[in-house]
Amino acid sequence: MKKHIFLIGFMGVGKSTVSRKLKQLMHAEEIDMDAAIVRENGMSISEMFEKYGEEYFRDRETQMLRKIAEGSPAVVSCGGGCVLREENVAIMKECGTIVLLTATPTTIYYRVRNSKSRPILNGHMDVDYISGLMEKRRPAYEGACEISVSTDGKRPEKIAREILDKVSSDT
């Protein structure tokens, strides 16, 4: 593996599950950005949002991406809002291939409806809100990615194999 593979996309599209599958198939290093940020800061994402606000968390994301960019190539599962900063997209483009995972708002809703650890959806756990936020973010997701794979109704292994087929041999 010569470059990073960054998995981006809305909450609940399956970035973490698919990155674990890619790790197995490629015998690659794998980094879950959210988990790494939680480990490094010693507090949950919800706590970070509550105590210091969203911008603080976004700064931690940028910091973590810079660190990942300097490290050896890995499959990286990004937080759903990672592409909202152009700076982050530039860092990812510089050192890797950006792969967008997609799913319909209804699929997302069923995957995340019991989650208590996604502050962005606190008090808004419904299909309409998810659909609205997804539309708002769509230009950022589509503008950042080189490859896009739909995940609706597919097993993680099938999604991972589709990504491997599409990712060029120089990754």
Of the ranges 18-26, 95-103, 115-123, 161-169, which one interacts with ligand S3P (CB under 6 A)?
115-123
CA pair distance 126, 80, nearest whole angstrom = 17
Of the ranges 75-83, 85-93, 96-104, 155-163, which one interacts with ligand S3P (CB under 6 A)?
75-83
Encoding tokens for residue 44?
């949950």
Residues 19-58, interacting with ligand S3P (CB under 6 A): 34, 45
8 A C-beta contact, residue 146 and residue 168: no
- Which of residues 5, 21, 80, 151 is near ligand S3P by CB under 6 A? 80
Computed over its alpha carbons, how large is the radius of gyration of the chain?
Answer: 15
Of the ranges 18-26, 63-71, 114-122, 150-158, which one interacts with ligand S3P (CB under 6 A)?
114-122
- State the minimum distance, in angstroms, from the CB of residue 2 to ligand S3P: 26
79 vs 105 by CB, closer to ligand S3P = 79
- Residue 120, interface with ligand S3P (CB under 6 A)? yes
Q: CB 83: neighbour CB atoms within 10 A?
A: 24
- Residue 60, interface with ligand S3P (CB under 6 A)? no
Instruction: Please write down the long-range contacts of 152-159, taking CB distance under 8 Å and 24 or more positions apart.
Output: 152/102, 152/103, 152/104, 152/107, 156/14, 156/17, 156/18, 156/20, 156/21, 157/21, 157/25, 159/14, 159/18, 159/21, 159/101
Report the interface residues with ligand S3P, using CB under 6 A.
11, 15, 34, 45, 79-81, 118-120
